[in-house]
Amino acid sequence: MNCTGCSRWGILVLVETKPQIAIRLLEPSANADQDLVADLTGLINRVYAKAEQGLWREGTPRTNPVELAGLIAAGEIVVADWKGQLAGSIRSHDASPEVAEFGLLVAAPKYRSIGVGRALVDFAERSARERGMRAMQLELLVPRAWRRARRTAAYPNPTRPAPARRRPRRAARPPGIAGPSARR
């Protein structure tokens, strides 16, 4: 069991990790396994094609076998297996001497909501800490002229930031009870 959110809110939340999810850093020599490279490339491109629909030109792949084989050879690709099946992957590497970076995070659609993404990110963060990294950053690719449809619908003026969330109003005090400012 892992504790998540303990120091953040002062509460204890236990999350049981799934023993069926096996996370492993691919050996650099795995770049020669053409079937593995093809399976990973296909998974990444399918997931990103759906997740980034409308961001890029239709049919634009997120990666290709040559690029992915190079990332594997560099020791930057981590995979998740669920009962022997490829369930997801993440790219994790050192962006600078003190900062690690992750990206290309994918979970196969049939293995979503079982903790694959969380396990991959946990692995990337843990291995970065073990290497002495002081921070972790997320790689995001966003076109310069892109506007998120949901945000545009909710906040039609994209040049203005979204309004800040308001705190709920406090209930009116009953007559005869002084507030904090009246006690001074």
What tens digit of pLDDT does each residue of 116-138 get? 999 999 999 999 999 999 999 98
More confident residue, 128 or 179: 128
Q: Which of 2-16, 20-34, 85-99 has the lowest mean pLDDT?
A: 2-16
Span 67-74, average pLDDT: 96
Span 102-122, average pLDDT: 93
Residue 161's SS3 state is coil
Residue-level pLDDT at 136: 92
- Location of structure tokens 């990666």: 63
- Judge whether 88 and 106 are in contact, CB under 8 Å: yes
**Helices 65-73, 34-51: crossing angle, 10 deg rounding:** 110
Residue-level pLDDT at 153: 47
- Judge whether 78 and 92 are in contact, CB under 8 Å: yes
Instruction: State the average pLDDT for the chain.
Output: 78
Residue-level pLDDT at 123: 94
**Tokens standing for 1?**
């069991």
Q: Which amino acid is at 123?
A: F
**Tokens standing for 11?**
């509460």
Question: What does the domain layout of the chain look like in residue ranges?
Answer: 2-138
Q: What's the rounded Cα separation, in Å, for the pair 43 and 89?
A: 9
Residue-level pLDDT at 52: 76
Q: What's the rounded Cα separation, in Å, for the pair 93 and 41?
A: 18
Beta strands in the chain (DSSP E): 2-3, 14-15, 21-25, 77-82, 85-94, 99-107, 135-138
Going by pLDDT thresholds of 50, 70 and 90, the confidence category of residue 85 is: very high
Q: Kindly state which CATH superfamily the domain 2-138 is placed in.
A: Gcn5-related N-acetyltransferase (GNAT) (3.40.630.30)
Residues recorded for the chain = 184
Exposure on the CB side of residue 178, measured as CA atoms within 13 A: 5
pLDDT at 178 over 90: no
Whether pTM exceeds 0.75? no
Residue-level pLDDT at 134: 93
